[in-house]
Each structure stands twice: as structure tokens, then as C-alpha cells.
Structure 1
């Protein structure tokens, strides 16, 4: 199998996993964001949980970065950027949890910021559906 086709298959494999995950959580967060205030407070009240969440996110992001080294095409770029986003977010949860907590609290306290966050999560959910479709229902392009 040519390396280009192998990279495309790897990209689609990541899209099959990341797409449904992002779609599910993006849509659920868009709908339930105002209800999650208590959950966010409880999560940040447990430093060990924040450390573990950050460590898992950093590890997951590094796995994506390390295994998916393809930046050719919009689908591949999206997967690679997602890996970097998750790794950076995980690092920030480990290094500066109070900054992340302050940002989450400020977002949930402001009706305008909450609306913007809900739109963001809805768009993220739509992106997840696109990734899932691309991962499950498209085939790699054959190069000659």
C-alpha cells in the first residue's frame, strides 16, 4: 500500500473515533451548558481529578500527534489540530488549573458568554458529525 493511501486510512481511522466523540459531547454541551455549573464547580474542587483529567488529555493529544503525522487535506489538518488542541488543553489543566477554572466560571456567569459557548459547542458537534461521516463513509483517494 502506498504511504499516501496508508496516511489517508490512518486519518479516517482517527476520524471514525474522534468524530462521534466530538459530535456527542459538542451537542450535549450545547444543549446542557447552563445546567453544568454545579458539575464544573465539583470537578475543579478536586485537584487530583483535575490532575488526572489533564494527564489523560495530554496523553491522548500526544498519541494523536505522534501517530497521525499527516497534514495533507482538510480532514487530516482537522485531526492533527484536534490532537494539538487536546494536548495543550491537558497541559494547561495540569500547569494552570485555576486559570481554566476562572475562564469556565466567567463563561457560565455571563449570559452572553454562555450563548457564545453554546454556539461554539454546537459548531463543534457539527464538525464531529462531518468527521464521523468522513471517517465512516468516504474512501481514500488512490494516487497513481
Structure 2
């Protein structure tokens, strides 16, 4: 993997890892509130569209800046980008399908706990991959060049 791809993977892992871990813990802690949250979320056509729009922005950002498939953390980040993009498009285009699926799955507490435990572990792994100390020969900061950088305008 090139230094640039390692930097990008670490940067995305630093954001996605803690996010997934915190989200998974929050869902597990607030499991009893999830039916009410789902009901409020699907009660309006606005929330699925807004959530899908922001999810699409996040997913496309990952896809635009991270298409690396050479190490586990990079693969996870890229797969998350594709999944987020697909979910966001479907949420914006077919919110009723997600509402029906949510209604059907809300009672499967054991399944959801398992899924969020796995997501929490993935988040912990990405957080570790993003924040672990680099080896002596590797750095996260760009190497200073002796020459002046070309101007954009």
C-alpha cells in the first residue's frame, strides 16, 4: 500500500472507528427506546430523506477519496463507503421499504444486539488502526518538499 493510501485509510478509520463504536454502544444502551425512535423516524417523510441525503454525502465522500482494497482496515472503510451510499440512495428513493423492514426487525432484539456487537468490534478495530502509533519509518505528516508548491490559480 502506498503512503497516501495508508494516510487516507488511517484518516477515515479515525472517524469511522469511534463513530461505529459509539453508535453501537448507544443502540445497545437505548434498546428499549428503539421502537419509539423508529416510529418517530418513519412518521414523517422528511426524516428518511434528510438522513438519506446526509448519508449519501458521507458515502460519496468515502467513495471519492478512498478506493483502496489492500489491507483489512482499507477494505472495511471502502465497503462501508459502498454500503452507506447504497443505503442512502435506497432510503431516499424507497423510504417505505426501510420502514417496513424496520417494523419487521424491531422485535428481533437478539439479532440486533449481535449486529451491533459486530459493528462495535469493527469500530474498535478501525479506531485502533487509525490511532495506533506508526512505526519508526512511517509518519502521518506530509514530507516537506524543498521546492515551492504550484499555485492553483
Using the size of structure 1 for normalisation, the TM-score is 0.89
In the TM superposition, what whole-angstrom CA distance separates every residue of 1:43-62 from its partner, at most 9, and x where no partner exists?
Answer: 11111121111011011101
- 8 A Cα contact 1:26 1:125, kept in partner: yes
Q: Kindly indicate whether structure 1 or structure 2 has the higher relative contact order, using CA contacts under 8 Å at least 6 residues apart.
A: 1
Q: Which whole-Å CA distance do the structure 1 matches of 2:104 and 2:10 have between them?
A: 37
- Partner residue of 2:119 out of 99, 103, 124: 124
Q: Could you tell me how far 1:32 is from its partner in structure 2?
A: 2.0
SS of 2:111's equivalent? helix
More helix by share: 1
Q: C-alpha separation between the residues in 2 aligned to 1:126 and 1:69?
A: 22
Moved more, 131-140 or 70-79: 131-140
Q: Which residue of 2 aligns with 1:43?
A: 41
Q: For residue 23 of structure 2, what is the aligned residue in structure 1?
A: 25
Alignment counterpart, residue 73 of structure 1, candidates 48, 71, 74 = 71
Question: 1:122 deviation in Å?
Answer: 1.3
Structure 2, unmatched stretches of 5+, are 139-153
Q: Distance in 2 between matches of 1:52 and 1:115?
A: 29
Q: 1:83-112: per-residue Cα shift (whole Å, max 9, x none)?
A: 01111110111111111111111111x3xx
Q: How many residues align?
A: 137
Question: Runs (4+) of structure 1 moved beyond 3 Å?
Answer: none
Give the secondary-structure state (helix, strand or coil) at the position aligned to 1:46: coil
Compare CA radii of gyration and give the structure with the larger one: 2
RMSD: 1.6
1:133-144 to 2 correspondences below 5 Å: 133-139=128-134
Matched, 1:115 2:110: yes
Unpaired segments of 5 or more residues in structure 1?
none
